Amino acid sequence: MMAAVSADNRGLRLATRYAVLLLVAIIFVFPLLFMAMSSLKPDQQLLSDTDSLRAFLPVGDISFNNYFAAFERAPIGVFVFNSVLVTGITVVLTILVCSLAGFAFVFLDWTGRGVVFSILLATLIIPYETIFIPLLLMASQLPWIGTEGIEIGWLNTYRVQIIPFIADGLSIFLFVQFFKDLPRELIEASRVEGASWWFIYRRVVMPLSGPVIATAAILKFLFMYNQYLWPLMVVQAEEIRPVMVGLGYFTDQLNVPWGEVMAYLTIITIPVLAFYLSLQRVFIASVASTGVKG
Amino acid sequence: MNKTLILSALIAGSLTGSALAQTELSLWYHGAGSANAEEALVNQLVEEFNASQSDWTVVIETFPQLAYNDAVGAAALAGKLPDILDVDGPVMPNWAWANYMQPLGIDESTLEGYLPGPIGRWNGEVYSVGLWDAAVALTTRRSTLEKYGIRIPTLETPWTLDEFNSALETIKASGDFEYPLDLGMAWKGEWYPYAFSPFLQSFGGDIVDRDSYQSAEGILNGDEALAFGEWWQSLFTNGYVPGTSQDSADRETGLLEGKYAMSWNGNWAALPVVEAFGDDVLFLPAPDFGNGSKIGAASWQFGISGTSEHPEGARAFIEFALQDKWFAAFSDGTGLIPVTASAAEATENYKPGGPLEVFYGLSKEQALLRPVTPGYIVQAKVFEKALADIANGADVADTLDAAADEINEDIENNGGYGH
C-alpha cells in the first residue's frame, strides 16, 4: 500500500515537473519558432497569422522567397562574417586579458590592489552608451601604425570595433570570483616547486577555469554580436559593417518587409545559437557552481 | 625587351599618375537596401559624373536609412563628414544650423522652374537640392464617388470640410466598406508630419509660428488647431478611418481589396492602383479646410558637408546631377515626381496624359514645406505623438497644450535655433 502511494506521488511529481518544464520551454521556444515560421511566409499571410496559432506553424503559402529577397537586398554574408570576426577576436582577447587581470588581483600581492579593484567594480554601473561620445572622439584621434606608417584615427576599421571592448569590469570580476574559490594549496605547491606566475596561470589556473571561461565568453559574445550603436557611430564602410546595423537595410521610411526581416533575423541568429549550444554544458555547470546568471 | 618593359612601365606610371590627379570626393547616401531602383540610379549618376571629367572621383558609401541620420551626427562629432551629403529636406535646416552643411554656392538661376519642395533653403541660402519630390493625394475610384452621388473635386475646387465629412458619412452609412478612408495610420514617424500637418495648416494652425519660429503657443494649440484636433479625433470616433493599430498589410492593399473607399497616399504607391483600376482611378486634391488645400513637400536632397575640403568638387557633382535627364531617369525608376516641367514631359508617368500627371500639378500648386527650422526634428516627433494620442482618445486641448509647451521648451533650450 505504502509502496503504491509512494510510486503515485513520484509519478505526480514527475508529471508536474515535466509540465512546468514544458511550459517554460514553450515560452522560450515560441519567439524563435515564430521568427523561423514567419520567415517562410509572404507579408500579408505573416501579419494575418499573428492572431492565431498559425503564426507558429509552417502552414499556408510557404517558400524560401524571403530568404532569396533578403540576400538580394543586403550583403548578409559580409555582415555575418564581420560580426563573427569582430566578436570572435574580442571574445578570445577578453578571455586572455581579463583572466590575466583577475589572476593579478587574486594571486599577486601588490599595493593598491583593493582600490583598483573597487574602481573596476564601480565601472560596472556605468552604461556603455554614456561613454560612447567621448570614446568616439578619442577613437577618431588615436594613432595606429598601419601599412603606410602612422595613421591618425581608428574610425572605419575592425580595430575600433574590437579594442575598446576587450577589457571590461564584468569579465574581470567573474574571473576574480572564480579564482578566489580555487584551492590556494595548488598555487602554493606550484610556487614551492619553483613554477613561475606565467606557468601557474597557464598550466594550473586556466585549465581549471572552464566554467568561468565559458560564462565570460558567452556574455561577451552576446554583447558583441548584438552591438548596434557603437558600430553605427564608428563604421561607415559597408564591407566592415556588422549584422545589427545591417538590420536597417530592411526598413525604409514607411514600409517594413516583415518576411525578409524574419529571414534575416533567422540567419543571424544561427551563429549565436551555435555558439551558445557549443558551450551550453560548461555554461550551465558554471551557473550551478558560481551562481552567476547569463 | 628591356625597352618594351620600360615603355610599359612609363605608360602604367602615367596612367596611375593621371588617376592620382583626380581628387576623391566622398558621398554618403541613405538608401542601402532600398527595394526600388533609386540606389542603382545614384550609382549610375556617380559613375557618369566620374567618367565625365578628370578632376574629381566621387566614391559612394551607402547607409541604411534607419541609421543614416545617427551616422551623420556621429561623423560630424568626430570631424569625419563626407564631402557630399544626402539629406532629407525637412532635416536640412538642422544640419545647416549645426554646421554639418555649407551653402551650395550654385547659381540660383539654374533652379528657376523647379518645384518648391526640392530646393532646400535656410537663412536665405540654398543648402540642398533634390532630384525629385513626392506628393500625396486622396486616391479613390470614380465609380465609387458616382455611386454615392459625391461630387468629384478638382484642383481648383477641392472639397470643403463639410463636403469631405459628408462624403465620409455617406460612404460609412452604405456599409459597403470597412472604412471610408485609409489615412495610413500603420505608418509611423515622418509620415505623420508629412501627411497630416497639411490638414492642420489648412485649418489655419501649424506646428510652430513660421514668422519667428520661436513659439508654438497659439499656433499648435490655438482655436484653429483645436478645431483641427476635434475633427481629427472625430475621424476615429466616427469610425471613418482605421486607428493607430492599423495592419500594415491593409495599408498596402486595403484600397485594392475594397476594404477602404479612399486612401490618403503618396505618388510612390500610385502605380499599382492605376494598374488595378485603370481609368477608374482618381487622385484627388486634399480638402480645403478653410485656408486652402495643402500637401507636404520635400524629399531627399544633395548638399555639401560643412567640413568638405573640396566644396567646388562637391558642387560640380551636384550641378552635374541637376539635369532633366537625371530628373526623368529617377522619376521613371522610382515613380517619384521630376522637379521640372520639362523633365516631367520626358517621363513615362508624368508626361501630359501620363497616369500620374496629376501629382505634378498637386506638388506645384499645393505643396507646403514642413517648418523650415532646425527645431523641426524635435517638433515632428512631438506632433506625431500628439496626433497619435488624440487619435487614441486623449483630450484634444490638453494634448495640444502639452505639445506646444514641449516645442517651446525645446526652442528655448536651443537658444532659439539661430532664427
pLDDT, tens digit (0-9, with 9 covering 90-100), for B281-312? 999 999 999 999 999 999 999 999 999 999 99
Residue B345 sits in the same domain as residue B201: no
Q: How confident is the model over B328-332, as a mean pLDDT?
A: 95
C-alpha A96/C-alpha A217 separation (Å) is 11
Q: Per-residue DSSP letters for B260-291?
A: EEEEEEEGGGHHHHHHHHGGGEEEEPPPB-SS
Q: Per-residue DSSP letters for chain A?
A: -HHHHHHHHHHHHHHHHHHHHHHHHHHHHHHHHHHHHHTTS-HHHHHHHTTSGGGGS--SS--SHHHHHHHHHS-HHHHHHHHHHHHHHHHHHHHHHHHHHHHHHHH---TTHHHHHHHHHHGGGS-HHHHHHHHHHHHTT-EEEETTEEEE--TTSSHHHHGGGTS-HHHHHHHHHHHHTS-HHHHHHHHHTT--HHHIIIIIIGGG-HHHHHHHHHHHHHHHHT--HHHHHH---GGG--HHHHGGGG--SS---HHHHHHHHHHHHHHHHHHHHHHHHHHHHHHHHH----
Residue B100 within any structural domain of the chain: yes
pLDDT value, residue A292: 45
Task: Tell me the CATH number at B78.
Answer: 3.40.190.10
- B63 Cα distance to chain centroid: 18
C-alpha B357/C-alpha B145 separation (Å) is 21
Range 10-49 of B in CB contact (< 8 A) with A = 28, 31-35
- Identity of the residue numbered B221: N
Q: Do B248 and A253 touch (CB under 8 A)?
A: no
Taking CB atoms and an 8 Å cutoff, what residues of chain B touch A256? Answer: 248
Residue B26 sits in the same domain as residue B170: no
Range 162-221 of A in CB contact (< 8 A) with B = none
Q: Do A73 and B35 touch (CB under 8 A)?
A: yes
Domain boundary among B368, B388, B406: B368
Q: Which helix (H) or strand (E) holds B137?
A: strand B136-141
Taking CB atoms and an 8 Å cutoff, what residues of chain A touch B77? Answer: 133, 136-137
What SS3 state is found at B193? Answer: helix
Taking CB atoms and an 8 Å cutoff, what residues of chain A touch B335? Answer: none
The length of chain B in residues reads: 419
pLDDT tens column, B231-269? 999 999 999 999 999 988 889 889 999 999 999 999 999
Residue B327 sits in the same domain as residue B387: no
Complex ipTM: 0.80
**Rounded to 5 degrees, what angle do the CA atoms A109, A112, A117 make?**
90
C-alpha A118/C-alpha A62 separation (Å) is 56
C-alpha B71/C-alpha B102 separation (Å) is 18
Q: Do A233 and B70 touch (CB under 8 A)?
A: yes
A66 near A262, Cβ under 8 Å?
Answer: yes
Give B189's contacts (C-beta < 8 A, 6+ positions apart): A253, A254, B384
Give the gap in angstroms from C-alpha A140 to the nearest C-alpha of chain B. Answer: 6
Please check the confidence at residue B18 and state whether its pLDDT lies above 60: no
Give the gap in angstroms from C-alpha A253 to the nearest C-alpha of chain B. Answer: 7
pLDDT value, residue A288: 61
- B374 Cα distance to chain centroid: 16
pLDDT value, residue A282: 75
Residue A120's pLDDT band (cuts 50, 70, 90): very high
Report how far apart the first and last C-alpha atoms of chain B are (Å, whole number).
71
pLDDT tens column, A234-278? 999 999 999 999 999 998 767 788 999 999 999 999 999 998 888
Average pLDDT of chain A to the nearest whole number = 90
pLDDT value, residue A195: 94
Percent of chain B surpassing pLDDT 90: 88
Residue B213 sits in the same domain as residue B277: yes
Give the gap in angstroms from C-alpha A74 to the nearest C-alpha of chain B. Answer: 6
Residue B5 Cα distances to B1, B8, B15, angstroms: 6, 5, 15
pLDDT value, residue B15: 44
Please check the confidence at residue B103 and state whether its pLDDT lies above 50: yes
pLDDT value, residue A254: 73
Residue B164 sits in the same domain as residue B261: yes
pLDDT value, residue A128: 83
B356 near B350, Cβ under 8 Å?
Answer: yes
Nearest-CA residue of chain B relative to A137? B78
Nearest-CA residue of chain A relative to B59? A237
Q: How confident is the model over B129-155, as a mean pLDDT?
A: 97
B48 or B268, higher pLDDT = B48
pLDDT value, residue A279: 81
pLDDT value, residue B266: 94
Interface test with A, best of B72, B80, B88, B196 (most A CBs within 10 A): B80
Q: Burial level of B382, CB count in 10 A (0-12/13-18/19+)?
A: buried
Minimal Cβ distance to B187: which of A44, A155, A254: A254
What SS3 state is found at B182? Answer: strand
What is chain B's percent helix, strand, coil content, to nearest 5?
50, 15, 35
pLDDT tens column, A181-191? 999 999 999 99
Residue B8 within any structural domain of the chain: no
Residue B168 Cα distances to A248, B175, B256, B290, angstroms: 38, 11, 18, 18
Taking CB atoms and an 8 Å cutoff, what residues of chain A touch B189? Answer: 253-254
Return the DSSP state at B99.
T
* Number of domains composing chain B: 2
pLDDT tens column, A38-95? 999 998 888 888 888 999 999 999 999 999 999 999 999 999 999 999 999 999 999 9
Q: Do A236 and B63 touch (CB under 8 A)?
A: yes
Residue B97 sits in the same domain as residue B126: yes
Q: Do A232 and B28 touch (CB under 8 A)?
A: no
pLDDT value, residue B19: 45
Structural domains in chain A, sorted by start: 1-63 (no CATH), 74-290 (1.10.3720.10)
Q: Do B248 and A44 touch (CB under 8 A)?
A: no
pLDDT value, residue A147: 83
B92 near B101, Cβ under 8 Å?
Answer: yes
Q: What per-residue string of b and e applies to B253-281 under the rule 16 or more CB within 10 Å gives b?
A: bbbeeebbbbbbbbbbbbeebbeebeeeb
Cell numbers given for A64: 524560401
Residue A203's pLDDT band (cuts 50, 70, 90): very high
Residue B284 sits in the same domain as residue B393: yes
C-alpha A265/C-alpha A247 separation (Å) is 8
Give B167's contacts (C-beta < 8 A, 6+ positions apart): B145, B148, B150, B159, B180
B217 near B401, Cβ under 8 Å?
Answer: no
Report how far apart the first and last C-alpha atoms of chain A are (Å, whole number).
46
Q: Domain range holding B148?
A: 136-295+375-418
Taking CB atoms and an 8 Å cutoff, what residues of chain A touch B65? Answer: 248, 251-253
Please check the confidence at residue A5 and state whether its pLDDT lies above 70: no
A175 near A100, Cβ under 8 Å?
Answer: no
pLDDT value, residue A51: 81
Residue B56 within any structural domain of the chain: yes
* Count of A-B CB contacts under 8 Å: 85
Residue B59 sits in the same domain as residue B112: yes
C-alpha B92/C-alpha B97 separation (Å) is 8
Residue A210 Cα distances to A155, A179, B19, angstroms: 35, 11, 55
What SS3 state is found at B85? Answer: strand
Residue B330 sits in the same domain as residue B226: no
Interface test with B, best of A236, A251, A258, A261 (most B CBs within 10 A): A236
Taking CB atoms and an 8 Å cutoff, what residues of chain A touch B78? Answer: 136-137, 139-140, 155, 234
Return the DSSP state at B131.
S
C-alpha B136/C-alpha B263 separation (Å) is 10
Residue B9 within any structural domain of the chain: no
Give A255's contacts (C-beta < 8 A, 6+ positions apart): B187, B248, B252
Interface test with A, best of B66, B264, B334 (most A CBs within 10 A): B66
Q: Which residues pair with B25 in a beta bridge?
A: B58
Residue A3 contacts B, CB cutoff 8 Å: no
Range 235-294 of A in CB contact (< 8 A) with B = 236-238, 245-258
pLDDT value, residue B22: 87
Residue B2 within any structural domain of the chain: no
B360 near B345, Cβ under 8 Å?
Answer: no
Cell numbers given for B317: 557633382
B202 near B288, Cβ under 8 Å?
Answer: yes
C-alpha B121/C-alpha A199 separation (Å) is 69
Domain boundary among B331, B349, B368: B368
Checking DSSP bridges between strand B260-266 and strand B179-182, what pairing results, if any? Answer: parallel
Q: Do A248 and B190 touch (CB under 8 A)?
A: no
Residue B7 within any structural domain of the chain: no
Residue B309 sits in the same domain as residue B281: no
Residue B127 sits in the same domain as residue B140: no
Domain boundary among B333, B352, B368: B368
**Looking up cell 509620415, which residue turns up?**
B191
**Looking up cell 500627371, which residue turns up?**
B357
Q: Burial level of B213, CB count in 10 A (0-12/13-18/19+)?
A: buried
Average pLDDT of chain B to the nearest whole number = 93
Nearest-CA residue of chain A relative to B88? A253
Residue B16 within any structural domain of the chain: no
Cell numbers given for B55: 578632376
Checking DSSP bridges between strand B300-305 and strand B84-88, what pairing results, if any? Answer: antiparallel
Residue B392 sits in the same domain as residue B357: no
